[in-house]
Homo-oligomer: A and B are copies of this chain.
Amino acid sequence: MVVVLKAKTREEDIRKLTEELKKEGIDVCPVIGKELTVLGIIGDTTKIDPLKIEAHDIVEKVIKVQEPFKKANRVFHPENTVVDVNGRKIGGNRIAMIAGPCSVESEDQIKFIAEEVKKSGASFLRGGAFKPRTSPYSFQGLEYDGLELLKIAREKTGLPIVTEIMSAKDIEIFERDVDIIQVGARNMQNFDLLKELGKINKPILLKRGFAATIEEFLMSAEYILAGGNNNVILCERGIRTFETYTRNTLDLSAIPAIKKLSHLPVIVDPSHATGKRFMIAPLAKAAVAVGADGLIIEVHNDPEKALSDGPQSIKPEDYDALVKELKPIANAVGREI
C-alpha cells in the first residue's frame, strides 16, 4: 500500500500518521520528494482498510499495490484448484460441459433435455428452479417443484445438477438436493448469502456480477473461502457496457486475468452474455481457446416456447454439433472435452 500525502504536509503530521499506522502491525517507509511525500506500507495489508487512511486530512490518496484477496490468491496457492463434484472434476484438464434449459418447466422437458445433452457429451445439467427476473410479473420459476424435477432428471441421467439459490433460507435444501449451488450475477455481492455458503462444503458456482470488477469478483469468492468452503467455481457471464447490440459484453480477457491472479477454476456462460442464439457457438469456441475450464450453455428443445431466455437458447442438435466443433479447439490448447 502506498499513501500519498498532500503537498506541504508538516513533518509533525507525518510522524503522527506514521505512528498511528504502525499500531496496526505494519511497517511504514517514508519516501520524501521535493513536491511529494509518499509512505510505503509494508507487511500484511489485507486487513487494513485504505479508506480509513484516506480519511486523514493530510492524505491525498491511498494506492493499493497488493491484491486484497488472500485465500483466492495464486501467490499463496500456486497450483490450480480442482473442484470435485461427485467424482467429476472442474478445473482439471477436461473442460466441464454444463448444459440445460434456462428454466425447469416440466418433467418431460427437463428429462428430455438432460438426456439429449448427455448424449452430446455434457457432464452436468443446469436448470433454473428459482428465477431472478427484472419484472415481478414475469415467470419466477417452479421453485421447490423445479428442484424435484431436477432430481428426477439426475436420477435418470446420472448428471450432477447445477441450479441457482436466491435466498439464504434455502441453503439446507440446496445442500441436500443440489450438486453445485449457483449464485447469480445479481447476488454476487449479497454478502449475507455468501457468508452462509462459506459454512457448507458444497461446490459453489459464483457468477460475476455484470458490473463487478475482476477484483470485486475475487473478493466475493474470498467471502466463501474465508468461511471455510474451498469449492468455488467462478463464472464469467458478460459485463454491462455502453454497447447495446449484445445483452452484455462477454469479457474473455477476464479468463487469463483470473488464471493469473487466482487458482480457482473459471468457466464461461456465452448464453447470458450475448442473449443471442447465433453468437453462442463462436463465443463458446473463443472461450475454450482463451483457456476457460468449462462452458455453461442454455439448451432448450423448443426455444420458441421456452418460459424464459428463449432467444439465447440453442436446440439439442445445435449443441451436439457445437460439442463436436469444440473438441479440436480444446485439443489445440492442450485440453480435452
Contact = CB atoms under 8 A, between A and B. Distances in A.
A66 to B, nearest CB: 6
B307 A52 contact: yes
Contacts of A57: 304
Contacts of A215: 245
Given A325-B332, A329-B332, A33 B38 contact: no
Interface string A268-311: 00000110001100110111111100000000000111111111
A249 interface: yes
A323 interface: no
A216 interface: yes
A132 interface: yes
B226 A51 contact: no
B65 A36 contact: yes
A166 interface: yes
Interface string A205-220: 0000111011110010
19 contacts: A32-B42, A33-B40, A35-B66, A55-B309, A55-B311, A63-B65, A68-B135, A166-B192, A167-B168, A186-B189, A190-B190, A213-B243, A215-B245, A241-B251, A250-B253, A252-B252, A289-B289, A289-B290, A325-B332
A66 B36 CA distance: 8
B54 A283 contact: no
A40 to B, nearest CB: 3
Nearest to A226: B136
B38 A27 contact: no
A46 interface: yes
Interface in A169-213: 169, 186-187, 189-192, 195, 209-211, 213
A222 interface: yes
Closest 10 interchain pairs by CB?
A55-B310, A211-B211, A31-B40, A33-B42, A289-B289, A286-B286, A328-B332, A285-B289, A286-B290, A186-B189
A112 to B, nearest CB: 18
Interface stretch (A85-93, A149-157, A254-262): A254-262
A60 to B, nearest CB: 8
Nearest to A44: B35
A310 B54 contact: yes
Contacts of A227: 136
Contacts of A255: 282
A256 B47 CA distance: 32
A92 to B, nearest CB: 18
Contact of A55 (B36, B55, B304): B304
B210 A211 contact: yes
